[in-house]
Amino acid sequence: MSLPCPASRRRGEVLREAVFEAALAEISDNGLRGASMDRIARRAGTGKSALYRRWPNVRALALDVFITTMEESLPGPDTDTGQLRADLLASLTALSGQLKGDLGVVLRELISEGAHDPELGAEFQTRFGREKEAEVVAMLQRAMARGEIPVHPVDPVVMQVPAAMVVHQLVLTGRAPSAPELEHIVDAIVLPLLRQPAVVPAS
């Protein structure tokens, strides 16, 4: 079996992909707290110094792996099928698909770690959550312009429901929702909520 190319010959995107793949495998096998930068480096065929130049620890690497992978795989803010239901299903299908493998394990590990580390949750929200919330707002604004849902402020909690239900099932059962389950989430829960007048709690 041939060894991975030396780090000096693998840089930029190629090295990053190797490190991400190695980190996913290491965290899937050993959990976030049991994973080590040394073993990730060996799996990736590079030196620890190449990792530490970019990530101070496994937690930072895991967070970067999850956020970067999701940003590159989920539909972007300009994705528009012309129908709210299809937009929601496209977004949730992409999310669920990514969480079926090792990335789902990483997310569960980050959620567990975040329960003991408020800074981790805050960083996750800053780097990923706010951007995705803005994309949901844009999606709903397009739906309002098409007359699919009433034109009114949407309860912020309702905007969190679609992705939250996917993650909830992942955490409870260890698996992401299937296509029929995603359709049920959208048709029976999300769309009915969006078609009702908003009830925004007083601050």
Tell me which residue has tokens 């007359």: 147
Contact indicator for 91, 161 with CB cutoff of 8 Å: no
pLDDT of 3 above 70: no
> 158 and 64 in one domain?
yes
pLDDT of residue 153: 86
Q: Domain for residue 165, yes or no?
A: yes
For residue range 44-67, what is the model confidence (pLDDT) as tens digits? 999 999 999 999 999 999 999 999
3-state secondary structure of 117: coil
Domain extent at residue 46: 7-55
- Residues 166, 102 within the same domain: yes
Domain assignment present for residue 25? The answer is yes
Same domain, 49 and 147: no
In the block, residue with structure tokens 């949750």: 121
Pair 132, 117 in one domain: yes
Judge whether residue 70 has pLDDT over 60.
Answer: yes
The label of the residue with tokens 């101070």 reads 56
Entry field: residues in the chain:
203
Q: How confident is the model at residue 114 (pLDDT cuts 50, 70, 90)?
A: confident
Q: Are residues 117 and 77 in the same domain?
A: yes
Same domain, 115 and 76: yes
Domain edge (last residue) among 35, 55, 75: 55
Task: Provide the 8-state DSSP code for 7.
Answer: G
Of 55, 74, 90, which marks where a domain is finished?
A: 55
- Regarding whether 76 and 39 lie in a shared domain, the answer is no
Please tell me whether residues 87 and 185 are part of one structural domain.
Answer: yes
199 falls within a domain: no
* Residue 115, domain CATH: 1.10.357.10
CA atoms within 13 A on the CB side of 66: 28
Does 154 lie in the same domain as 66?
A: yes
134 in the same domain as 46 = no
Q: Token digits for 56?
A: 């101070």
Rounded mean pLDDT, 118-135: 83
Q: Is residue 2 part of a domain?
A: no
Q: Are residues 15 and 79 in the same domain?
A: no
Output the pTM of the full model.
0.79
Asked whether residue 84 falls in the same domain as residue 170, the answer is yes
* Total number of domains constituting the chain: 2
* CATH number, residue 30: 1.10.10.60
Residue 14 inside a domain? The answer is yes
| Angle between helix 37-44 and helix 12-34 axes, rounded to 10 deg | 140
Q: Does pLDDT of 88 surpass 90?
A: yes
